[in-house]
Amino acid sequence: MAPATKKRRTGIEGDCEVRAKETIGGLSSEEAMEDISKEEDDIGGRTLEAESRAGKPPKHPSSEQEKAQAVGESYESKSSIFRMETEEMLSEIRVDYRKRMAPVENMLHKLRNIIEKIPRKTDTTASILSHLYLLIDEVEGEMQKLEIRIPFPEPKPGADIKYKFSYEKPAYMNIAGSYALRTVAKQREGFAIDLILQMPPTIFQEKDYLNYRYFHKRAYYLATIASAIQGSGLDLQLSYSDLHGDPLRPIIVVAPSGSNSETDFTASKCLIHIIPAISKNTFSLSKLRPDKNAVRPVADTVGGSVPPTPQYNSSILADTTYLGHLAQLHEMSSEAKAFKDACLLGRTWLKQRGFSSNISRGGFGHAEWSILMSLLLKGGGSKGNSILAKGYSNYQMFKAMLQFLATHDLIMNPLLFGVELGSVLWPKGPNVFDGKFGLNILFKMTEWGYHLLKHEAEITLKLLGDPLIDHFEEIFLHRLDDPCYKFDTLAYIPIPERLDKDSGLNPLLSFSQRLYDMLSIGLTDRAKLIHLTLPSTSAQPVRVNGINQSIAPAKQIIAGFLLNAAQCNRTVDHGPPAGHKDGASYRAFWGDKAELRRFKDGSILESVVWCTKDSKKSIYNQIIQYLATKNLGGEIGTHVKFIGDEYANAVGGRGGVGLFQPTMAAFENLIKALRNLEGLPLAIRQVSAAAPALRYSSVEVPLFSSGRLMQPADVVVQFESSGRWPDDLIAVQKTKIAFLLKMSELLEKSGTVTRIGLENIDYPAMNSAFLEVVYHEGSAFRIRIYHDREQTLLERQLLNKDLPGKKRDEITAALSEHRRRFIVGPLHTQEVQKLSHRFPALSPSIRLLKKWFQTHLLSREVSDELVELMAIRTFVATSSPPNSVMSGFLRTLRFISLWDWRSEPAIVGAVAKNTSETFGAIRTSDPAMNRYVMVIPTEYDPTGTTFTESGPRKVVAARVTSLARAAVGASFKDMFVSSTRDYDFVMHIEPKYTLSGVRSKGSKFKNLQKTEITSQDIAKLGLNVPETFVNELNDIYGDTIIFFTDGNIIAGLWNPSSASGRRWKVNIPYSTIPQVGRNDEEVLKLNKMSILNEISRLGGEILAKIEIIKK
Amino acid sequence: MSPPAQIASYTILPITIPATPLAGTATHFLYFRKHSAKQLAPHDPRSLFAVNVPIDSTTTHFRALFTKIGGGRVERVIFEEGGGARCGHGKRKRASEDEEVGGDVWDRPLRKSGSTAVVVFVDKPSRDMAIKAAGKVSTTAVVWGDGISEVINIPALGISRYLTHHNLTHPSKVHLQASVNTFMAVFEGEERARLRALAKRRQVPDEDGFITVLRGGRTAPARQEEVKAALEKKRKDKHEGFYRFQVREGRKNQQIELLRKFEEDKRRVAERKQLRRFKAGSGSGGARIV
């Protein structure tokens, strides 16, 4: 292998690497060779390794048994399949350097030659001593002539500055960063190769670290290089960009021209970053400690202390670290075998969550990840022990890193390496101080960025610890950086045109810090986490009159909030008591909103009261708006855009479970009434609810307007067991009717209206009757009797092997109906009730989601319970449950869009261990998915099919997925717009006969509407003409047409298998036209016209219009 | 393309369906031939077997239809089981003549699309005449529902049918009570008779002189499930891991199971790889950014 690698190590990159190692002296070239050959091993023998690593058989397994033992060991750690998946993903994202990188290496080589040939800038007229240096006006004149911009950072050098600029050849050039370390990953937007140019110390003076002098000289140096590359005639696109969003440190970004010329490196899918650097001893480290000032105020403050400038100091120091860090990482990757892979994992994890080294995106990217990891491999623990062990596997290392990030508070407890605490305190932000470089390596991280990182690490750690489900995809494969899905509510806060220049080195950053502080104080415990996303800085053209190609980012800060659901809608905030010393500051903060109030317990407190009348805006948004107006000016305050409230408003605001209070009270009354019945042959054991209205999840809030009966809510009554029930299914049903009649008789004595309804007439084994109980305030219930022996009777029938197929189907259907209605249904209702109290956002999220399914005409196929379970899954599956309707709804939609229901169940909460086996059995017995399509197991329904048996079918499930995919990323409005374009025909129900039409009072004049319940209303209770109609259509045409409905329109899709012609057969399940087809064969074609005519005949006046969409 | 006159020995009868306010005129095709069933019924020689009857067919419709084309008199029509609305259970009832009444909760039952019916004529010549006449019918001659006299009152379709259905599903309590009482009386009577018969058979020897052992003897009838549960419990109580070979076998089984699971997992990962699911972020899974 050695000769091969030697050959490979040509080109600039290899060259540079050697030089780097020589100059640093950290690594011998032999080690480097080993390094690379190892890399080859990695790529070549990957499959083998994947297998051996996953199974972990130490030696060649001599026998089956030994192998089994090895497998067993790996299974004990529960992460075997996760590890296999990790290996697969790593192999997928690794870059084939040899194949892909040739063009760019060629280009690097060329750039190197160009840079080496740049002459030193001299001024012949000056004296010997200063002959290297140019004055500011000369410098500007020179570049003006070349039409090259100098990327001076703000504040730009004035015309009167005394110091001089110069250029000398870089002390050395080198590739650093992840490309040198071989830890770049394939990604859509490509990656960057960092080409480090170390500026010679001779062009700087000892005091140049002060007052931006270093950065100005650096900018000139960069401009010189830019002009040389520009002048070389190479076909490239050059631009300046701020390194990691640090405005003090511009770099040159070299992009391929895409012209397909010889030097074009588009194929390598990467950019080259040219980064000027300095050696570690150019400036004194002690002068640049975080507590030192390096930017002297303009006005003379004699004797006064000057504020420290930690950010500025770090920006200089960061330029000294590239090569040092590279050496450190190289060393680590040779010591710890899994280091590089763990870097790749970290890189992927961070990228999917939108973190990068850029200040505006958290300031924690793969560079920081790998440096932090290398530090933790050496130390960081108590008593100088290392936190990570070198022998860890990539997975263990990744997990341990997350553990560290999640549990170690780096703001409160800075992590120090080779330095004492005191002089290196970092204001407001995490601190990992590396004494070797004198730098806080997390200096780019903001307070909020750090909190978010910690939060994400906590979530992932929880997922990794899940003993049952493997969350690999969620951890590595899904993009999770859309703020709408990450946060509970969003506010887009415009950035003022003129930021306060004096407020700091980075005006935007100090503005956002002010905003952050303001929001944290103002929202108190309403928000658990506040995060600000700053606009990223855009690239600048190199040429003076160059066109700026990148789109200027919107001038706004996206503030994302994770709410505290229990507190965020509180109307009163208490401040300090009257006369307390904090009172003044409280008043100053809240302005005229603060008032002194006397409370019930006698205390007199400063307080702020928010209004709930304006139901369009939630209280936290009112606070944000008020504070923005007060502190940032009305211009900004009125332009703050809030995202999130529209979701809550669509389902009746923030009432949550409170909206259902009257219904629940009515149900309590019913229970009381039933329990007080005297004269029943058996005592009532249990009354349980089994309806969406009784678990806070019906779209319509029942009993909301007076004079309107609610849709009857299902209730299950169970009697004390008795041996006197007949042992025959049909007789059981009749006995139930007798019981209902008795109950009805007793209830009517107390003036309650009752009716008995029949159902399942065609299915004698199913429940055949229910009792409707109507109260005059509008509540209505449907009582069914649960007899626990029915299940046994049905199961016993199924054991009979001679049962004819049709009968068997009937019994099976009856059994699942029984389980759904009487056993699982009440349990489900109980669970949803419980969870709705635990998660205030659950109930409105479910209702909005149901509305979504309804809008898209899917609620016929997707049962109420299935929707509820999908939403619940979002709430219980993560350690960070949604706290607003928006996040609850959107995250569930995203889950639906990602759910591969063909190959995996959607597991809700804690389920039995053998869930995946159960699922496997379901799929093996029915691979075509004719019976069970979506499977959603829960604790009380381990098979997960109870609520999905009657739909959605495969076609409809696929439609659900595609609609959810379209909705993810759409605006709120677009999500609720349904198009009938995809259907074959659409029938409109006459408004008079829709559910709401039938229930309305029929009076034309609003003020004449009767508000009491009449006997007419009761007679119409439960009448749902469109539903009955569609059910009947489905019975008649079920094999030919798929019907979709929302109660107002019915859309139909011809089954494609019916649409093609068929040979003669007696029992073709649709109306046909005989035709002579090809080969003189008689074929039968679907008779669409006749069928539509039949439907229209059947519907009669129910239908208002039939539209044929597709011929 | 003109349709064939016959298809696989079935005569094709095109029927014009008049336009409704919402749907245009259509042609429905009825196929029929002489009825021949596996189980012979007395009326077979005078019956036609019809395929693809319209969903709203009634005996009256067929009567009018065959009168119109000049066929014989229809005695009754027996529709296929499993139409839109089924009534009760048991074939006898369905075959009865009062099919117009339908199930208990519908005033007019529907037929499944494409379903069949047996049309019974008053005599054999009537049927043969019908077949002959049907062959001569031109495409537009017969109109569905034409010729039904006003006197015969077929329940209307549309909203009134659904309202009637709603009322029928909420019967009066008096009626319901009466029907339950009747049922229970019959059921109890049958039950008693059955028990008596059983008791009797327990005592009567068969021709070989043996007495059959039957359920429900002196002891209370044991429930199958209970016995099973008891057996299960007994099996569980067995001493496991008492002998060394049991332990060893158990361990071996466990290992085999693990190995199987490992292979299974490997297969699953490979399957996913096939679907190119491991492309981080770029795969199907990625949520798009607005």
A429-451 per-position pLDDT tens digit: 888 888 788 788 888 888 888 99
Mean pLDDT of chain A: 80
Q: How far is B72 from chain A (nearest CA, A)?
A: 24
Chain B residue numbers touching A741 (CB-CB < 8 A): 173, 176-177, 180
Is A351 within 8 Å of B280 when comparing Cβ atoms? yes
CA distance A308 to chain B (A): 39
List the 775-794 stretch of A: residues with Cβ below 8 A of B.
792
Instruction: Tell me how far CA of residue A786 lies from CA of A121, A711, A770, A1022, B179, in angstroms.
Output: 95, 21, 11, 21, 21
Instruction: Identify the weakest region by mean pLDDT among A74-78, A156-160, B126-130.
Output: A74-78
Predicted confidence at residue A825, as pLDDT, reads: 93
Q: How far is B226 from chain A (nearest CA, A)?
A: 11
Task: Count CB neighbours of A170 within 10 A.
Answer: 20
Axis-axis angle for helices A842-855, A885-898 (nearest 10): 50
> Which residue type, as a one-letter code, is found at position B286?
G
B-chain CB neighbours of A735 within 8 Å are 184
* SS3 state at A140: helix
Range in A11-15, A85-89, A179-183, A384-388 with the lowest mean pLDDT: A11-15
Predicted confidence band of residue A866 (pLDDT cuts 50, 70, 90)? very high
- Taking an 8 Å cut-off on Cβ atoms, the answer to whether A969 and B288 are in contact is yes
CB < 8 Å to B225, chain A: 792, 796
* Spatial separation of the C-alpha atoms in residues A356 and A1078, rounded to whole Å: 65
Tell me the pTM.
0.84
Segment 165-184 of chain B within 8 Å of chain A by CB: 165-166, 168-171, 173, 176-177, 180, 183-184
User: CA torsion sign, A453 to A456 to A462 to A466?
Assistant: negative
> What separation in angstroms does the CA of A974 have from each of A855, A904, A963, A966, A968?
11, 29, 11, 10, 10
> CA-CA distance, B7 to A1063, in Å (whole number)?
10
Among A315, A307, A377, smallest CA distance to A343 is for A377
Which residues in chain B have Cβ-Cβ distances shorter than 8 Å to A55?
262
CA-CA-CA-CA torsion sign (A27, A31, A33, A39): negative
Domains A321-481 and A489-571+610-643 share a fold: no
Angle at B33 (CA atoms; ends B28, B37), nearest 5 degrees:
120
Hey, are the CB atoms on B26 and A1092 less than 8 Å from each other? yes
Q: Using the beta-carbon criterion (under 8 Å), do B159 and A1102 form an inter-chain contact?
A: yes
Beginning with the edge strand found earlier in the chain, give each strand of the sheet holding A780-786 in spatial order. A684-689, A713-719, A780-786, A769-774, A753-758
CB contact under 8 A, A734 and B85: no
Q: Looking at residue B284, what is its pLDDT?
A: 37
Instruction: Spell out which residues of chain A touch residue B12, defining contact as CB-CB under 8 Å.
Output: 1074
Q: Is B3 on the interface with A (CB under 8 A)?
A: yes
Q: How large is the average pLDDT for residues A782-801?
A: 89
Nearest Cα to A531, choosing from A543, A511, A516, A509? A516
pLDDT of amino acid A78: 52
Q: Give A477's pLDDT tier (boundaries 50, 70, 90).
A: confident
Q: Output the CA torsion B189→B194→B197→B201 (10° steps).
A: -170
Specify the pLDDT at position A385: 77
Report how many Cβ contacts below 8 Å link chain A to chain B.
281
Contact A923, A944 (CB under 8 A): no
So what's the pLDDT on residue A42? 38
Distances in Å between the alpha carbon of A94 and those of A98, A101, A213, A276, B267?
12, 13, 41, 28, 22
ipTM for the predicted complex comes to 0.81
A1079: left (phi over 0), alpha (psi -120 to 50) or beta: left
A792, closest residue in chain B (CA to CA): B225
What letter represents residue A1003's amino acid? S
Rounded CA-CA distance A221/A168 in Å is 8
DSSP-H helix ranges across A724-863: 729-749, 789-799, 805-818, 825-838, 842-855
> What six digits make up the tokens of A558?
């996206």
What are the structural domain ranges in chain A? Answer: 2-10+20-93, 97-299, 321-481, 489-571+610-643, 653-838, 840-977, 985-1108
The three-state DSSP-derived secondary structure of A1047-1062 is CCEEEEEECHHHHCCE
Is the pLDDT at A46 greater than 60, yes or no? no
Q: What pLDDT does residue A178 have?
A: 77
Put simply, whether B263 touches A (Cβ < 8 Å) is no
In CATH terms, is domain A321-481 a member of 1.10.1410.10? yes
pLDDT digits (tens, 9 = 90+) for A990-1005: 888 888 877 775 544 5
**Alpha carbon B267 to chain centroid distance?**
42
What A629-635 contacts at long range (C-beta under 8 Å, 24+ apart), as own/partner pairs, is: A630/A591, A631/A514, A631/A518, A632/A493, A632/A496, A632/A515, A633/A496, A635/A496
Highest mean pLDDT among A1066-1075, A1086-1095, B253-262: A1086-1095
Over the stretch A285-344, which tens digit does the pLDDT of each residue have?
Answer: 777 777 777 777 666 555 556 777 778 888 888 888 888 888 888 888 888 888 888 888
With 0-12 CB in 10 A as exposed, 13-18 as middle and 19+ as buried, what is A738?
middle
Fold adopted by A489-571+610-643: Alpha-Beta Plaits (3.30.70)
Contact between A40 and A1 (Cβ < 8 Å): yes
Contact: B17, A1035; criterion CB under 8 Å: no
pLDDT at position B283: 38
Tokens of B209: 């002189």
Q: Taking the alpha carbons of B246, B251, B252, B258 in that order, is the dihedral positive or negative?
A: positive
Among A741, A903, A1070, select the one facing B114 at the smallest CB separation: A1070
- Rounded CA-CA distance A940/A367 in Å is 47
Maximum alpha-carbon separation in chain B: 90
Q: What is the pLDDT of residue B156?
A: 84
Compare all CA atoms of chain B with the CA of A352 and give the residue at the minimum distance: B281
A898 inside 8 A of chain B by CB: yes
| Whole-number percent of chain A with pLDDT over 70 | 85
A97-299 fold:
Beta Polymerase; domain 2 (3.30.460)
pLDDT tens-digit profile of A901-922? Answer: 888 888 888 777 788 888 888 8
Task: Tell me the nearest-neighbour CA distance from B143 into chain A, angstroms.
Answer: 13
* Residue that the structure tokens 């004096």 belong to: A502
Cα–Cα distance for residue pair B4/A71, rounded to 1 Å: 69
Residue of chain A with shortest Cα separation from B27:
A1090
Predicted confidence at residue A193, as pLDDT, reads 82
- Show residues of chain B in contact with A1066, CB under 8 Å: 51, 116
Domain ranges within chain B, ordered by starting residue: 6-156, 171-235
- The answer for residues whose C-beta is within 8 angstroms of residue B94's C-beta and 6 or more apart is B78, B79, B81, B87, B88
Checking if the pLDDT of A872 tops 90, the result is yes
Q: Which residues of A touch B290 (CB under 8 A)?
A: 482, 484, 969
Write out residues 39-68 of B within 8 Å (CB-CB) of A.
51-52, 54-56
Q: In what order do the strands lie in the sheet with A489-494?
A: A527-533, A556-563, A489-494, A641-643
The alpha carbon of residue A206 and the mean position of all alpha carbons in its chain are separated, in whole angstroms, by: 49
Q: Using alpha carbons, list the distances in angstroms from residue B163 to B50, B160, B169.
A: 31, 5, 10
pLDDT tens-digit series, residues A507-545: 788 888 888 888 888 888 888 899 988 887 777 777 766
Q: How far is CA A102 from CA A9, A41, A185, A268, B177, in A?
A: 12, 20, 17, 8, 90
Q: From the CA atom positions of chain A, what is the Rg in Å?
A: 36
Q: What is the pLDDT along chain B (290 residues), one digit of tens a residue?
A: 455 667 778 888 888 888 888 888 888 888 888 888 777 777 778 888 888 889 888 888 888 888 888 777 888 888 876 543 333 333 333 333 333 333 478 888 888 888 888 888 888 888 888 888 877 766 557 888 777 777 777 888 888 888 888 888 888 888 889 988 998 899 889 988 988 887 777 777 777 877 766 665 544 445 566 777 777 777 666 666 677 888 888 888 888 888 887 787 778 777 777 665 555 544 333 333 22
- Residues A1095, B166: C-beta atoms closer than 8 Å: no
Q: A1099 in contact with B at a CB cutoff of 8 Å?
A: yes
Going by the DSSP 8-state scheme, the letter that residue B218 receives in this structure is S
CATH architecture of the domain with residue range A985-1108: 2-Layer Sandwich (3.30)
Residues in chain B closer than 8 A to A810 (CB atoms): none
Query: Is the Cβ–Cβ distance between A288 and A294 less than 8 Å?
Result: yes
CB contact under 8 A, B255 and A898: no
With beta carbons less than 8 A apart as the criterion, state whether A1028 and B165 touch. Answer: yes
What is residue A198's three-state secondary structure?
strand
Q: Tell me the nearest-neighbour CA distance from B158 into chain A, angstroms.
A: 4
Using a CB-CB cut-off of 8 Å, the residues of chain B touching A1040 are 113
Q: Domain spanning A653-838 has what CATH number?
A: 3.30.460
**CB-based contact A477 B272, cutoff 8 Å:** no
**Are A1093 and B4 a contacting pair at CB < 8 A?**
no
pLDDT at A870: 93
Query: Cβ contact (<8 Å) for A1098 and B169?
Result: no
Mean pLDDT of A565-593: 82
Asked if A933 and A948 count as a contact pair (C-beta separation under 8 A), the reply is yes
